[in-house]
Amino acid sequence: MVNGESETDATLHKIVKRPNAGDILGQRKVAIAADNTALTLQELMK
């Protein structure tokens, strides 16, 4: 939103000792509309 991003996403990793090293269990992408705020995006990501 600050840098003109057109989408955001969240990734769920299996927890291991190294950060972001675990297998990816799921991903979700959401398009960012011109009228979205951080709060509305948070709601969309649920």
Q: How many domains does one find in the chain?
A: 1
Type of residue numbered 41: L
pLDDT band with cut points at 50, 70 and 90 for residue 31: very high
Q: What is the pTM of this model?
A: 0.62
In whole angstroms, give the CA distance from residue 32 to residue 1: 8
Residue 31 included in any domain: yes
Domain encompassing residue 31: 7-44
Residue 2 included in any domain: no
Residue 20 included in any domain: yes
In whole angstroms, give the CA distance from residue 13 to residue 27: 9
Residue 1 included in any domain: no
Residue 20 has pLDDT above 90, yes or no: no
Residue 22 included in any domain: yes
Residue 19 included in any domain: yes
Residue 29 included in any domain: yes
- What is the pLDDT, as a whole number, of residue 30? 92
Average pLDDT, the chain: 90
